[in-house]
Amino acid sequence: MENGQSSASNGYHAGSTLERMLRAGHFAVTGEIGPPQSADASEIRHKAALLKGCCDAVNITDNQTAIVRMSSIGAGTLVVQEGLEPVIQMTCRDRNRLAIQADLLGASALGMNNLLCLSGDHQRFGNHPTAKNVFDIDSLQLVKMVSDMRDKKIFQCGEDIKGSEPRYFVGAASAPFADPIDFRPYRLAKKVAAGADFIQTQLVYDVPAFAKFMDKVRELGLHKKTYILAGVGPLKSPGMARYMKKNVPGILVPDELIDRMTAAGAAWADKKPADMTKEEKSARMAAWKAEGIQICIELIKELRAIEGVAGVHVMAIEWESAVKPIVEGAGLFPRPQV
């Protein structure tokens, strides 16, 4: 599509595959690609090839964890060339309202039409902790700004966009289990009111807790106003599961899943890592990964049964090869054509 003009007349906000998939009532699948810390295009092409056909669109992270990487829009251009649809991630950490709008005009002109609006991880966590951050606007104001660029044809300052407006299918994130937990559905409501067409959630491992969150979301009627994609990701090892449970805010990992991951490596449980051969280590890793994929498949099936869940966002960063078996295992392959 040249740009959004055609979609304005056909009833779609942007007319992206992701939007059409959701509007058609299909259970959507999005994936995620973390761009390299280099100018290496082949890495993006390789990852895109692994995800092509099993995801309706793939998020391209924007300096994730505040580490400098190839830009989301640059990597997104490569993804488009590979025949895959990107969801550009845009954070408020590194750009002010001028830079964000300029980049979004550019990305739209390059054919990108899905956007995920984020505040951005604080630079304290990244590889340039001495940097100045921006945070001119926040993620919610970003959602509103981009929606207004599309629907009102105005820049944030109120001036008209003369000529083609950027037309994005606008997304926002939700962290259902972060504190203050009771406020989370209301913050989601604010994002929807600001114009979020779709929502991708933080990783869900605790389905009953998520179901409780969704109860409130439905009570507020939000599932009728936006498409909610539940975040899932395969566990790689019991250590990773324990680390996330302990250290990552807003991620709940039930002990039962940690136990399952531990049990998957039970055959090697009485061996110290130092005494294990390379072959034993890779066999244990394969057993863990197989269980991680199996758990992810089960999570997707359970999440799909929750009313108001319109799709899943599969986050398998640096393990993109896991996505296809997960999507297949969950009965979501091949993807419908829209």
Partner 1 sequence: MIVAEQKPLAEMKTLINGAENVLVVGCGTCVTVCFAGGTREADIVSTSLRMATKLDGSPQQVTHSTVQRQCEWEYLDIIEEQVKAADIVLSLGCGIGVQAIAEHFPDAWVVPGLNTSFLGLPTEHGVWEERCAACGECLLAVTGGICPVARCSKSLLNGPCGGSENGHCEIDPDVACAWQLIVDRMSSKGKLDALLEIQPPKNWQNSRDGGPRKIVRQDLRLVEFED
List 135, 155, 319, 333, residue binding partner 1 (CB under 8 A): 135
Residue with tokens 């082949």: 42
- Residue 173 bridge partners (DSSP): 200
Contact 235, 261 (CB under 8 A): yes
Residue 216 backbone zone (phi > 0: left; psi -120 to 50: alpha; other: beta) = alpha
Q: Indicate which single residue of 160, 186, 208, 328 sits in contact with partner 1 (rule: CB under 8 A).
A: 186
Query: For partner 1, which residue of 70, 117, 137, 222 counts as binding (CB under 8 A)?
Result: 137
Q: Which residues pair with 199 in a beta bridge?
A: 172, 228
Which lies closer to partner 1 via its Cβ, residue 144 or residue 236? 144
Minimum gap (Å) between residue 155 Cβ and partner 1: 12
Distance CA 169, CA 9 (A): 15
CA 258, chain centre distance (Å): 23
Per CB under 8 A, which of residues 101..130 are in contact with partner 1?
119-122, 124-125
Of the candidates 145, 149, 230, 323, which one interacts with partner 1 according to CB under 8 A?
145
- Number of residues near partner 1 (by CB under 8 A): 35
One residue of 26, 68, 111, 141 binding partner 1 per CB under 8 A: 141
Q: 75 to each of 11, 169, 290, how far by Cα in Å?
A: 29, 19, 30
For residues 268 and 284, is the Cβ–Cβ distance under 8 A? yes
Cα distances from 196 to residues 71, 89, 193, 232, 328, in angstroms, run 23, 14, 7, 20, 29
Shortest Å distance, C-beta 125 to partner 1? 8
**Residues 3, 7, 30, 139: which binds partner 1 (CB under 8 A)?**
139
Q: Is residue 93 near partner 1 by the rule CB under 8 A?
A: yes
Residue 180 or 273: the one with the smaller Cβ distance to partner 1 is 180
Rounded Cα distance between 90 and 76, Å, is 12
Q: Which two tokens stand for residue 80?
A: 């488009």
Footprint (CB under 8 A) of partner 1, residues 148-167 = 156
Residue (77 or 91) nearer to partner 1, CB: 91
Contact set for partner 1, span 216-255 (CB under 8 A): 249-250
Closer residue to partner 1 (CB): 188 or 299: 188
Cα–Cα distance for residue pair 65/76, rounded to 1 Å: 18
Nearer to partner 1 by Cβ, of 166 and 325: the residue is 166
Is 53 in a helix, a strand, or coil? Answer: coil
230/305 Cα distance (integer angstroms): 12
183, 224, 256, 328: which one contacts partner 1 (CB under 8 A)?
Answer: 183
- Cβ distance to partner 1 smaller for residue 44 or 203: 203
Residues that bind partner 1 (CB under 8 A): 92-93, 97, 119-122, 124-125, 133, 135-141, 144-145, 156, 173, 175, 178-180, 183, 186-187, 189-190, 193-194, 202, 249-250
